[in-house]
Structure 1
């Protein structure tokens, strides 16, 4: 039997005793250890890096390897077909029903050249070729862009030659030229690939403490062990803070493992092939840990509060599974409604951490004011949630199962 249920706690050491008890007991729980130290912090970075690496390498291979394209009417435009071949396109025999072939995914795209191509070309009239594809097929994007650029490049070249043949400068056809000056750095471009990183960190924190939060509240309530614990002559708030500290310890350990895993696996992401640069080393990890510290307490308090309303372990799992949707809201909001960061946004829990981590990924760092707002806003929210949960711990109904 647990010593906390038979021996009165010393008031001066109540918090530490509860904390050590919960940590020690849950270190023996295989389910808690698996969720806190394996499932989230290790598998998430590994799967994230593998997915990105596979996608990047696959798209680059498709852009560099010979591209097989069925061509209808190739005999009408031999020079165009030759230009396509020079660009890595391998013309394939014509197919009878190109639209159906594309819809059935037997071909990513089909190039069709009209019989009147040669006559219109000789007259100097504009000619048209058709690219038949299905935009709903994800594999069609790269081949379509590749063939489109080759055809447009051939058209510009031939148009310039026509002007020269008439004694005109090719510049006559292009009175206005757009000169693009991209101010993005190699590191800032990495945000395009790593914009889900803040959500993964928060999800790791959430999963790291979830099962512990369920067990320390709904689990003990179901096992009818909360009532003997509350019978000790110790303030309920000390018991709650001890449990809260244990949840925070597991969440923090989970985040640290996740940061270490990203620091190692992040080196294998082929960002240099895309002209990007990302640094997920020790400096990045320390800044992320600082940003997430008040959020760890906030999420632990929310988990404890929600679990306190559940009468059984399974019921608490259901409630917290719904609560798990909360961390993804900032990511969805920024994808649907791209916002220009304002200082006040950093004071909003979850959103502030999301923006701060993206600043770190860009290599810009986070300023003193946004950092203070981020830490202050989340800390205030954590305090409010902790005070509300303390009130729940004072209720006698919490110790009663059923």
Structure 2
């Protein structure tokens, strides 16, 4: 135990002095994700919410053919702009979100009681115009329904004849469960913080020392290699855990800065959420530290180890992608699979649902068991004499 602690304190102390390691593991790694997420999401949401509160400015071609329609759309928040000669090009070049074109025969068809057609020109690939196009469609549909009812009444018919089926929608989502729409990738950010937090140390303490030829003198000491390994794993895990703490705290702050109330959401990433996340992530701190060390053991240089670690960083995104593409009903067996168990548990916490003590214990115990197996494999690799040879 004394040897393990000596190696642990030595590696932690040396890497705290390394500015590159501190910046990567404790600043850029845990803070870059929350910062970019908050900046991009907050900017996009604020822009869309502000657009929803403002009138829609849309060029209208042939407004003189449907004055009543234009007047009704004005009341709903439409600001008709001057007609343009080439609406298709204007939409493609983003000079206009949408263009409304009213044909010359609109009034004739309307007076005959026939279906009058208008053209809504837009580009569905322009995501920033979705809200404007959606609002304009809703305005046109509302006007169509209202005028359809008036036509029926004018003919002495009941408007209910056109609505044989009435749908009463009852959305069972809660303000907190709707937050999953924004924070669906949050579990991956936490795993990424753990990976980035320990990556520099894992590469340097194995591949780096192997490249510098300082691993051979260390192994020459009359000390069991598994004790040296545990000290190194402890140092890697410490930096990974600190990175996780910082990331959880950063997302808690970013959650308070989101305009959740205007979206009808409640985002609760406070202490109750944070300690459960850290508890579920603890086995992954052990597991990923061992995996990173194992991967670095097969590299002969620091740069080669970085290449291998970049591939390893793609593995945690698999559960997130699977659950987003193929939503499945959560089952208890999922908590017994590392990464998947953390993904499911954190998603449930985000939705405001409870994670039972049994489910939490399965998530933790299963992760610890797998982590111990990987540590044993890494210890076996550390027994190889070829590990200390850089050439």
TM-score (norm 1): 0.95
2:381 maps to 392
Q: Separation in 2 of the partners of 1:368 and 1:128?
A: 61
Three-state SS of the structure 1 residue aligned to 2:79 is strand
1:38 maps to 27
Summarize the alignment of residues 75-94 of structure 1 with structure 2, pairs less than 5 Å apart: 75-94=64-83
CA RMSD, 1 decimal:
1.1
1:251 maps to 240
Three-state SS of the structure 2 residue aligned to 1:190 is helix
2:359 maps to 370
- Extract unaligned runs of 5+ from structure 2: none
1:125 offset after TM fit, Å? 1.0
**2:318 pairs with 1:329:** yes
Q: Separation in 1 of the partners of 2:13 and 2:201?
A: 12
1:87 offset after TM fit, Å? 1.5
1:50 maps to 39
**2:220 pairs with 1:239:** no
Three-state SS of the structure 2 residue aligned to 1:167 is coil
Q: Separation in 2 of the partners of 1:355 and 1:237?
A: 34
1:330 offset after TM fit, Å? 1.3
**2:49 pairs with 1:60:** yes
**2:199 pairs with 1:210:** yes
Moved more, 104-113 or 209-218: 104-113
Q: 1:316 aligned to 290, 305, 318, which one? A: 305
Q: Separation in 2 of the partners of 1:73 and 1:325?
A: 54
Q: 1:96 aligned to 62, 85, 88, which one? A: 85
Q: Separation in 2 of the partners of 1:107 and 1:56?
A: 20
Q: Separation in 1 of the partners of 2:117 and 2:230?
A: 73
Contact 1:343–1:369 at 8 Å: present in 2 too?
no
Contact 1:69–1:110 at 8 Å: present in 2 too?
yes
Contact 1:112–1:130 at 8 Å: present in 2 too?
yes
1:76 offset after TM fit, Å? 1.1
Moved more, 31-40 or 163-172: 163-172
1:352 offset after TM fit, Å? 1.1
1:341 offset after TM fit, Å? 1.6
Q: Separation in 2 of the partners of 1:372 and 1:113?
A: 64
**2:309 pairs with 1:350:** no
1:163 maps to 152
**2:299 pairs with 1:302:** no
Three-state SS of the structure 2 residue aligned to 1:69 is strand
Q: Separation in 2 of the partners of 1:174 and 1:21?
A: 77
TM-score (norm 2): 0.98
Q: Separation in 2 of the partners of 1:211 and 1:86?
A: 61
Moved more, 179-188 or 347-356: 347-356
Q: Separation in 2 of the partners of 1:105 and 1:262?
A: 34
Contact 1:248–1:296 at 8 Å: present in 2 too?
yes
Three-state SS of the structure 1 residue aligned to 2:173 is coil
**2:169 pairs with 1:172:** no
Q: 2:212 aligned to 194, 212, 223, which one? A: 223
- Extract unaligned runs of 5+ from structure 1: 1-11
Q: 1:272 aligned to 240, 250, 261, which one? A: 261
Three-state SS of the structure 2 residue aligned to 1:213 is helix
1:24 offset after TM fit, Å? 0.7
Q: 1:147 aligned to 133, 136, 139, which one? A: 136
Q: Separation in 2 of the partners of 1:206 and 1:194?
A: 20
**2:272 pairs with 1:283:** yes
Moved more, 14-23 or 167-176: 167-176
2:171 maps to 182
1:52 offset after TM fit, Å? 1.5
**2:123 pairs with 1:131:** no
Q: Separation in 1 of the partners of 2:248 and 2:90?
A: 47
Three-state SS of the structure 2 residue aligned to 1:326 is coil
Q: Separation in 2 of the partners of 1:374 and 1:123?
A: 69
Summarize the alignment of residues 112-131 of structure 1 with structure 2, pairs less than 5 Å apart: 112-131=101-120
Q: 1:73 aligned to 38, 62, 65, which one? A: 62
